């Protein structure tokens, strides 16, 4: 079986709206299709990406099987209940990819769910 090396880079460009208790970091976990769709990191071991920073992964994928699921989140508290701001995406790693986690909606929004998105970018 032939393998190819692919890189995934995620940038954290989220900006707090002042109500989300954002502490300048997101947690990222991944599932690789070629590894049976199991989470790559245990609950407490997720990669943390700090504000205006990025993290880069390199994977060896079977040439004909390169699917990836990405889950990024951070916690905030609302009325003593812990909530999550989450952005997920599934993608085909047919080439190296760079994604940005950011406020894809109105940053003045103060009602849950606070908007966050993944957007593929060419470079930052």
What is the residue range of 46's domain?
3-120
Task: Give the mean model confidence (pLDDT) for residues 41-48.
Answer: 92
Confidence check: pLDDT of 91 > 80 = yes
Q: What is the pLDDT of residue 74?
A: 95
Does residue 106 surpass a pLDDT of 90? no
| Positive or negative torsion for Cα 45, 55, 11, 58 | negative
- E runs forming strands in 36-112: 47-50, 54-62, 67-78, 81-92, 97-102
3-state SS class at 44: helix
The whole-number average pLDDT for the span 75-80 is 87
The answer to whether residue 123 scores a pLDDT higher than 90 is no
Percent of the chain with pLDDT over 70: 99
* 109 pLDDT more than 90: no
How many domains, in total, are found in the chain? 1
Q: Mean pLDDT in the chain?
A: 92
| Residue 124 predicted with pLDDT over 80 | no
User: Is residue 2's pLDDT more than 80?
Assistant: yes
CATH number assigned to the domain comprising residue 76: 2.60.40
């Amino acid at each position: 079986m032939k393998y190819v090396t692919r890189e995934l880079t995620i940038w954290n460009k989220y900006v707090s709206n002042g109500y989300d208790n954002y502490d300048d970091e997101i947690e990222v976990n991944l599932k690789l299709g070629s590894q049976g769709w199991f989470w790559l990191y245990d609950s407490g071991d997720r990669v943390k990406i700090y504000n205006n920073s990025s993290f880069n992964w390199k994977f060896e994928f079977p040439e004909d099987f390169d699917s990836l699921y990405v889950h990024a989140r951070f916690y905030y508290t609302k009325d003593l209940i812990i909530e999550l701001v989450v952005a997920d995406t599934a993608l085909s790693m047919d080439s190296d990819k760079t994604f940005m986690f950011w406020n894809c909606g109105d940053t003045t929004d103060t009602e849950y769910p606070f908007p966050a998105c993944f957007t593929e970018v060419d470079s930052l």
